[in-house]
Amino acid sequence: MSAELHHQLKHAIAELCAQFPDSYWRELDSRRGYPEKFVQALTIAGYLATLIPEEYGGAGLGVTEAAIILEEIHRSGGNAGACHAQMYIMGTLLRHGSTEQKRKYLPSIASGEIRLQAFAVTEPTTGSDTTRIKTLAVRKENKYLVKGQKIWISRAEHSDLMLLLARTTPLEQVKKRTEGLSILLVDLRQAVRHGLTIRPVRTMMNHATTEVFFDDVEVPAENLIGEEGQGFRYLLDGLNAERILIASECIGDGRWFIERSCRYARERVVFDRAIGQNQGVQFPLARAYANVESAALMVKHAAGLFDSHQPCGPQANMAKLLAADASWEAANAAVETHGGFGFAEEYDVERKFRETRLYQVAPISSNLILAYIAEHVLGLPRSY
């Protein structure tokens, strides 16, 4: 897409988001509600089908366009966490699913008839050490029986389908830890009545996350994505898109914090002058702005590499690291600028502050990104 079309896309998203003002998000946050009307509006407009090829009813656009959409949602004061996963989770099905699976599910996902918004990977006892997950899927004739537990599985209560990473070969029986992991497509509409339990986990931000328990949940063998035992490779294949898209949300958050803070600093008068006239207010905002814009360049660069099918692991990870740090810096500057009002719900700073804090930790912590860069880019010895 041309720069003009990108501008039009950003404007269209801003117009849609204007229908969901601060009060909408504030009310949902107070009761930890799911933004159903907002997600439905995005679906109807076709934005959640951005990465789905046209032959399956989607827009057939790239990660660059998806990043523009998510950034603008956050810049408008909203939160795309309720639905962003449908963009990058779908890539696993698109790249590694069979022709039959894609024909069966992608058109319905594109139309909004069904939702694929949950990916069950993390477990309580393993955290980021993914190769040591204990959830087991045992093949029994034409089905798998799944037993285990997952944590921090966002949107499971609001999704029809869920991708599941499970061990199909026990760890002690494989040569490499990354072997023996497989990805299954679970129909939650059936599973919740047959062995699957979903428990909401209330967190400091409104993120609709859950804990999921599998007690011999049956999954048809035809729902295996790709080859059995290759799930870890498929998981890694989708992480670059995830990093880039989450980074774009951080850029949106950072720009929101700075715009709101500058407006407040111009209007707030103390000691007979606007507080924005003080360098103690100006400098933190100016530095935050510089860092957000610098991070935005890395996000754009990483997205361009991804869309041109070039290696982009380092760039995607650096985009996530820099954007998360920049949005967190902007969040702190916003609280300092607003003073006591930064903690008041009606100003929305404290809500966005809590939301953007998440990205220092998830979906990958900043320290793990640094470890990745040290080992795979700088050639230093593995540290963990």
pLDDT digits (tens, 9 = 90+) for 342-384: 999 999 999 999 999 999 999 999 999 999 999 999 999 999 8
Q: How far apart are CA 35 and CA 355, in angstroms?
A: 15
pLDDT of residue 237: 86
Backbone angles phi, psi at 271, to 5 degrees: 55, 40
pLDDT digits (tens, 9 = 90+) for 269-294: 999 999 999 999 999 999 999 999 99
pLDDT of residue 89: 87
Same fold, 3-111 and 116-231: no
Q: Where are the domains of the chain?
A: 3-111, 116-231, 233-377
Is the pLDDT at 88 greater than 90, yes or no? no
Q: How far apart are CA 313 and CA 381, in angstroms?
A: 18
CATH number for the region 233-377 comes to: 1.20.140.10
pLDDT digits (tens, 9 = 90+) for 253-275: 999 999 999 999 999 999 999 99
What the block records as the tokens of 19 is 């229908």
pLDDT digits (tens, 9 = 90+) for 199-233: 999 999 999 999 999 999 999 999 999 999 999 99
pLDDT of residue 212: 98
What is the rounded average pLDDT for all residues in the chain? 96
Q: How far apart are CA 298 and CA 131, in angstroms?
A: 30
Cα Dmax for the chain: 79
pLDDT, average across residues 307-322: 97
Q: Which of the four CATH numbers 3.90.870.10, 2.40.110.10, 3.30.479.30, 1.10.490.10 does domain 116-231 have?
A: 2.40.110.10
Q: How far apart are CA 193 and CA 370, in angstroms?
A: 42
Is the pLDDT at 249 greater than 90, yes or no? yes
Q: Which residues pair with 198 in a beta bridge?
A: 212
Architecture field, domain 3-111? Orthogonal Bundle (1.10)
Percent of the chain with pLDDT over 90: 96
Q: How far apart are CA 68 and CA 83, in angstroms?
A: 15
Q: What angle do CA 238, 239, 245 make, to 5 degrees?
A: 100
Q: How far apart are CA 291 and CA 278, in angstroms?
A: 20
pLDDT, average across residues 299-306: 97
